[in-house]
A and B are shown apart, each in its own frame.
Chain A
Amino acid sequence: RKEVEQDPGPFNVPEGATVAFNCTYSNSASQSFFWYRQDCRKEPKLLMSVYSSGNEDGRFTAQLNRASQYISLLIRDSKLSDSATYLCAVNWDSSYKLIFGSGTRLLVRP
């Protein structure tokens, strides 16, 4: 089993749709979780950290399910500009290393 797994997609959705991605992780001791956004041929940029209680930032909601060992990202009212690859990242141990998923590609169409 991969340490961090994501569905590669692509998820092809119309503008205005709600879309959700999951990311599963295999290390039950992981404590920090993140979602990054990466545009084509650019660097990953932090979208949001994922807290135990879940967190929301505008149209984006991130949740953590420790029992099932996954994090999720929900995007409401999708915009064309949301088209990108979304990477999840999970810390692995006390070393501050992050393990990244391979990313889920989102395409929002007009």
Chain B
Amino acid sequence: DVKVTQSSRYLVKRTGEKVFLECVQDMDHENMFWYRQDPGLGLRLIYFSYDVKMKEKGDIPEGYSVSREKKERFSLILESASTNQTSMYLCASSGLAETTDTQYFGPGTRLTVL
């Protein structure tokens, strides 16, 4: 079974703090993705990565950065957290040959910025 884990289920931070969200997958997937999910807005892609040290902007990259130093790990960084970044953050991975597009999600991190 594909396993995607995220470092925290719930996180509370203060405005201006630097926030790190970590995601690890154990299936040797090439592709990893960060989304945020807000009521009424669905899943929105923040950043994704096809390979180590490679990153591409998604639809809403502003205020975020990412790091992929190892294949299994993809980190999302909020450089200076703001209240409008309060959201559910979901990491996903994909990449086995037969099912390259199929994405598997981690349990999510519910971030509250005060």
Contact = CB atoms under 8 A, between A and B. Distances in A.
Asked if chains A and B come from one complex, the reply is: yes
Interface of A: 32, 34, 41-46, 49, 87, 89, 91, 95-98, 100-103
A44 B45 CA distance: 14
Contacts of B101: 32, 34, 91, 96, 98
B74 interface: no
B56 A34 contact: no
Contacts of A89: 103
Contacts of A101: 42
B104 A97 contact: no
B44 to A, nearest CB: 9
Scoring B94, B101, B105, B108 by chain A CB atoms within 10 A of each residue's CB, the highest score goes to B101
A37 to B, nearest CB: 11
A98 B104 CA distance: 12
A91 B104 CA distance: 14
B107 A46 contact: no
B56 to A, nearest CB: 7
